[in-house]
Amino acid sequence: MHGLNARSLTGRDIVLASVLESLRRPAGHGAAVAAEAGLGKTAIATAAAQEMQAEMPVYWVYSSPALKTVPYGALAALLPDLAPRQTGSALAVMRALMARIIAQAPEGGAPAGRPGRAPLVVVDDAHDIDGPSLDLLAQLLDARHIRLLVLTRTFQDISDVLPHMWDGQVTRHQLLPLDEREVLQLCQQELQGQVSITAAVELARLTGGNPMYLLALLDEAVRTGFLVQRQGIWATTDSETPVGGRVGDLVKAQIRGLDPADRTALEVISLAEPLPLRLAFRLGLHASVDRLANLLLVMVSGASDAGQVVRPLHPIYGEVVRGMVPAARSARLHKQLQAVLAGVDLGEEGQLHLVSWSLALGAQVPEQELLYAAETANNRSDPRLALRAAAAAGRGALRIPARIQEARALLLLGKTGQATATLEGTLEQAADLRTVKQAMMVHVQLAQQSTFGSGWEVPLARQWNRAIDRLSGSQPAEAVESARCGAQTLRLLSRVWAGEYAQAELELAEVLRKARESADVEAILFAEAMTAEVQVATGRAQTALKHSTAAMDLLPEATAGSRLFGPFVLHRHLTVLLWLGDWEQLQRSVASADSPVQRTLLHSGGVADFAMGLGHLRANDLHEAVKDFSAAVEAATRNDPEGILPLALALASFAAASLGQREAAGRLLAAAGRTPPRGPEQYRLLAEGILAGGRFALDSDGSYIQKLRDTAAAAQERSFTAVEFTLRTLSLRLGDLSEAGRLLKVTEGFEGPQALVLNRATRALVDQDSAALVALASDPEPELDLQLARQCLLEAQRLARRNNDRALLNRIHRLTGRHGGGNRGMLPELTRRERDVAALVAAGQRNAEIARTLNLSVRTVEGHIYRTYEKLGISRREELRERFPLLERPSGGWKRPAEAE
């Protein structure tokens, strides 16, 4: 029997249940499962066989290419008593087989309620079975002597002999690759730790979601350092994709039986990936392409700027095959391809791979093509190839543009010091305005990662204008005008980050109008993205969505130069989606191997994990939020193009503190204290306020609530509406109702579903409408997270007591008493430290005694007691003892804290 473990069935529960349902029908029925090698057909069959063997005998039939030409060869293991002279007789074989597998069926039929004892026959790799064997099994199925479970590469491979699939007698089950969520689950299960979202998506892309290749790649990736664990987070590095070990063995096993012509075709397709179909025809590979596609080794796709192209089914196939081709043979294939290239557009990706192939062979490549390849590789987040191409191009007249691309590549790799040194002097030596713009974009990216905050935009704009003045006499008027527009955008950036939103929005509208008239794609991208940023910052996320979506839609059509704006546009689009709570679109944008920005996210400094963490935080899934923010911190520590590290640390510490994870929260808070602030003032205020909230959640020190209020007031003074909204919401979430009136005012006119619900909640708080508060808390809407719902309930309880409203108090008590249920309105569980303090309070200890017992300050103990009272809606020690008698009973699941040593 095959071995089986949980990882073999990751993402396969639904298919397995469906197969079992089919097999439990009366004898004469069955199921067929189709999938490429490695997707888990055998694992599903094994699980089904283990489930069914208590109900009926189970037999396995193994097929192989070696036995495909031998009549009844696949059934040989089930026919040990068949005489050699009888192997040519279909009747003799049938009798022998029936005697072997039907003999165990008891007389009188199956017990009532049981599917019956007709055996289950499992046929593995049915696409390689000999015709007579499958024909005989089909006859036994028609005669209702057996049930049949067939595993095959494609349904077409067996449809001639087994037409039962088309009338429902044998149900069909197409096994699909794992999706990104399932890949992440399998990776974390296998690695026994947190895996960054970008790493999981990249592994999904390389393997096509094939579990067999994924598990093999994980082993090899860890061994070679392609996948490393830092601070408990598994993430990919910029080393070469590993193709040795079991990964290589598995791919080689798939192609071992190819004839020479098909093998050559696969080598050309892998080396040129993707190969335009027109070139495949010119090379005479069309028949091989058909055969390779039927073998599920290659795929033909139309989603390319080169038209229809053929490429390996999974990128890992191409990586392995390229590594298998000897240099001399590779050179011959390269020469053959070059001979038929005339008039064929390779497309951006094809041109890039051709240059990479040429560089590997040491072939001559024109300098202009090398520079194009370096820029394209950077745009596609392939800094290793960009460095190779830039180094080869930087020996002649294109030395300055090549250095700029080298600096970009170093920046992608997180090597800011080297990038700065490489960029030195390029602005002054640039010979044309396009090169000036490229240099300025890298200067901007370097400045964004600095700890100097804002203020660098205007000096850089001056440098840009000086370079324009120097070159304006030798450049076309349109190019000069476009460059002036670029310098103006830096000044606009300064306005936005200074909070001058109204003026900036007017100027951006004018920039956008002119850019559309002149079809200046780069200016359109910038203006659309910055307009979205301004509108989000002023509480208009729904309006901003139109602009961020327009920019995202434009990215795939953008020129090589304008793709510099890819990360800039993506970050602002994600911000819009987060404010609108569009989790499905967010998932597609950052956690999908098919996302057009997937490669960009590999060097985005944890933006994907950061975005998912915000989503989990909004959904009150604090455990997942801590994991996501921790992964973002790890990535941003090495490379932080968007300056999110302080914010990620603040949010991670807040989520950990809210869960009572004191050690993790303390570590994150300490790291935040050591991290210099960066980015515009909005980012700094936001991080400052969230850190104050995290420290309050950890220590219940009221001074941190005051710090949070002060930071929100500073945001209000600077007209940072979205920052103020966030901080005042956080303050309310932590139990501070003093600024509910101000939050009510902020939410009026603020776009997005969260603002609508918060408006209702703050209105009820300001009006002291206890019935409305209870209604909100008893069945909170998705946008009102649990902690806010609990605060509504606590305030309703206070008001009901003040008004001596017994009916409402009884209703609140019913809501707060559901400690064992899953009701979203129930009061929160206490943190570990709050439970420790509560247990000693219930035991009758005074605050000073508790402080000595737990080795805390009296002030900290008082803070914990205050927060416990707030959470539980009580005000006296006696109420704590009455409310939670289980605190004194170990059998209730509570433990007294250990005495301090």
Over residues 492-522, the pLDDT tens digits come to 888 888 889 999 999 999 999 998 998 888 8
**Position 649 pLDDT exceeds 70:** yes
Compute the distance between CA of residue 604 and CA of residue 790 in angstroms, rounded to an integer: 36
Give pLDDT tens digits for 602-621.
Answer: 777 788 899 889 888 887 78
Bigger pLDDT: 629 vs 779: 629
Instruction: Return left, alpha or beta for 661; rule: phi > 0 is left, psi -120 to 50 is alpha, else beta.
Output: beta
- Percent of the chain at pLDDT > 70 equals 90
Compute the distance between CA of residue 121 and CA of residue 543 in angstroms, rounded to an integer: 60
CB 232 within 8 A of CB 652: no
> 743 falls in which pLDDT band (50, 70, 90)?
very high
- Other residues' Cβ atoms within 10 Å of the Cβ of residue 767: 11
**Position 6 pLDDT exceeds 90:** no
Once rounded to an integer, what is the mean pLDDT over residues 864-886?
Answer: 68
DSSP 684-703: HHHHHHHHHHHHHHHH--HH
- Other residues' Cβ atoms within 10 Å of the Cβ of residue 377: 25
Six token digits for residue 59: 């037999």
Task: Count the helix, strand and coil residues of the chain and give each as a percent rounded to the nearest 5.
Answer: 65, 5, 30
Once rounded to an integer, what is the mean pLDDT over residues 875-881?
Answer: 71
* Spatial strand order in the sheet of 30-34: 58-62, 120-124, 147-152, 30-34, 170-174
Phi and psi of 74, rounded to 5°? -65, -25
Type of residue numbered 367: E
Give pLDDT tens digits for 226-284.
Answer: 999 988 889 998 888 999 899 999 999 999 889 999 999 999 999 999 999 999 999 99
pLDDT in the model for residue 204: 92
Once rounded to an integer, what is the mean pLDDT over residues 687-698?
Answer: 92
**Position 444 pLDDT exceeds 80:** yes
Q: How far is CA 531 from CA 123, 445, 485, 569, 600, in A?
A: 60, 19, 16, 11, 22
- CA within 13 Å, CB half, 822: 0
pLDDT in the model for residue 453: 58
**Position 110 pLDDT exceeds 50:** no
Compute the distance between CA of residue 427 and CA of residue 425 in angstroms, rounded to an integer: 6
Tokens 């420290």 sit on residue: 695
**Position 479 pLDDT exceeds 50:** yes
Whole-number average pLDDT of the chain: 85
pLDDT in the model for residue 894: 30
**Position 304 pLDDT exceeds 80:** no
pLDDT in the model for residue 280: 93
pLDDT in the model for residue 597: 65
Give pLDDT tens digits for 744-799.
Answer: 999 998 998 889 999 999 999 999 999 899 888 877 676 777 778 888 888 888 88
Compute the distance between CA of residue 681 and CA of residue 498 in angstroms, rounded to an integer: 7
Once rounded to an integer, what is the mean pLDDT over residues 878-890?
Answer: 51
Classified as helix, coil or strand, 122 is strand
> 372 falls in which pLDDT band (50, 70, 90)?
very high
> 892 falls in which pLDDT band (50, 70, 90)?
very low
Integer-rounded Cα radius of gyration of the chain: 33
Compute the distance between CA of residue 687 and CA of residue 678 in angstroms, rounded to an integer: 10
Of the candidates 333, 35, 43, 331, which has an alpha carbon nearest to the alpha carbon of residue 172?
35
Ranges 450-459, 619-628, 863-872: which has the least confidence: 450-459
Bigger pLDDT: 559 vs 283: 283
Classified as helix, coil or strand, 195 is strand
Once rounded to an integer, what is the mean pLDDT over residues 60-83?
Answer: 88
Compute the distance between CA of residue 431 and CA of residue 132 in angstroms, rounded to an integer: 75
Six token digits for residue 65: 């290419």
pLDDT in the model for residue 2: 44
Instruction: Return left, alpha or beta for 735; rule: phi > 0 is left, psi -120 to 50 is alpha, else beta.
Output: left
Q: How far is CA 684 from CA 265, 337, 890, in A?
A: 56, 55, 46
Phi and psi of 538, rounded to 5°? -105, 20
pLDDT in the model for residue 325: 95
Once rounded to an integer, what is the mean pLDDT over residues 648-677?
Answer: 90
Ranges 103-112, 335-344, 552-561: which has the least confidence: 103-112
Once rounded to an integer, what is the mean pLDDT over residues 583-599?
Answer: 73
Q: Which residues pair with 299 in a beta bridge?
A: 311
Between helix 197-207 and helix 622-638 the angle, nearest 10°, is 80
pLDDT in the model for residue 679: 75
Of the candidates 121, 131, 126, 133, which has an alpha carbon nearest to the alpha carbon of residue 153?
126
Tokens 């309070």 sit on residue: 841
Ranges 107-121, 447-461, 579-593, 843-857: which has the least confidence: 107-121
824 CB burial (10 A radius; 0-12, 13-18, 19+): middle
- Percent of the chain at pLDDT > 90 equals 47
Six token digits for residue 894: 């509570």
Total-model pTM: 0.79
pLDDT in the model for residue 561: 64
Compute the distance between CA of residue 6 and CA of residue 641 in angstroms, rounded to an integer: 39
